[in-house]
Amino acid sequence: MNTPTKAKANFQHVLPAANLIKGRHPFIVDFCRDKKVLHIGCVDAGIMEERFQNNELLHQKLAQVSPFLYGVDIDVEGIEFLKNNGFDNLWVMDICDPKQQAALANIQFDVIILSEVIEHLNNPGLMLDAIKQLMAKDTALLISVPNAFAAKNIWNMIKRQEYVHPDHNYYFSHVTFANVLTKSGLAVQENYIYAFNPVAFKRSHNIVKSSYWYLHKRFEESSANWLLFLKNIGLDFVNDVKALPENLLSWFLYKRSGFFGDGLMAICKLSERN
């Protein structure tokens, strides 16, 4: 009697061409322009007030381009802060609770933003299942997560350190990110990798900041004080020298693949089986 053979699991996955974008917020804001948007996790707990003062809060930026912007978060104080600063259509809400989610049931959104959220959760699949209840056929879910294989993570591992937010529960790669989304009944339409390090976009040996614009800006910041100007340039030079090993590693990695970027982003629709 022949023993049935088990099919070998395919552990090797060929990565597609990398669609690398500079930063995270600019792309998200442009994607939401003139659309009805639900921003899940609209509070940036711990650093929200500082970012708000610097006009760097994502919800702030979305309000400048979306005529119909809604926001939900479980952070009571954060939602109150946003309301006190002129934002409306805000709810303190656990999106996974059907009773709480009912407040949004009659609103059809063009875009749902879930940026840098699911890595904080105990059960990302539960969140994605809940979000599907708010999606129509044409609703786009834009979701982003930190990248497990970011160049900065590899550099820190070489230094025997782990660079990670203390509240994160997961790392995602291109494949595991896609698995979570598809197993939750979402169809991935587009994939992107975002990066913050300029080395990712130069992809060359030139990693020293020395442009006229940069020097002029530093001079203006020094209020025409030559000693301060020279001190700032000297500090920049020292910082560049210190960062040289990391930038060289990043340059090498980015020459190989854009998938060493800081984070992963996907635009999804409901799959046909829903």
Write the CATH number for 109.
3.40.50.150
Sheet containing strand 68-73, edge to edge, reads: 20-22, 186-195, 263-270, 140-146, 111-115, 36-40, 68-73, 90-92
Q: Cβ distance 252 to 135 under 8 Å?
A: no
Distance in angstroms (rounded) separating the CA atoms of residues 27 and 31: 6
**Residues 86 and 217 both lie in one domain:** no
In-domain check, residue 227: yes
pLDDT at 130: 96
pLDDT at 208: 30
In-domain check, residue 206: yes
**Residues 153 and 235 both lie in one domain:** no
**Residues 207 and 238 both lie in one domain:** yes
pLDDT at 230: 59
Q: Cβ distance 73 to 93 under 8 Å?
A: yes
**Residues 208 and 89 both lie in one domain:** no
Could you tell me the pTM of the whole model? Answer: 0.83
pLDDT at 168: 92
In-domain check, residue 9: no
In-domain check, residue 181: yes
Q: Which domain holds residue 59?
A: 20-196+258-270
Mean pLDDT by 10 residues, the chain (274 residues): 61 89 93 97 83 90 96 95 95 95 94 96 95 96 97 95 91 96 96 88 42 46 57 62 83 90 96 78
pLDDT at 195: 92
pLDDT at 209: 37
Which tokens in the block code for residue 113? 């933003």
pLDDT at 235: 64
pLDDT at 160: 95
Q: Cβ distance 64 to 34 under 8 Å?
A: no
**Residues 225 and 263 both lie in one domain:** no
pLDDT at 129: 96
* Contacts with 156 (C-beta within 8 Å, 6 or more apart), sequence order: 162, 163
pLDDT at 3: 55
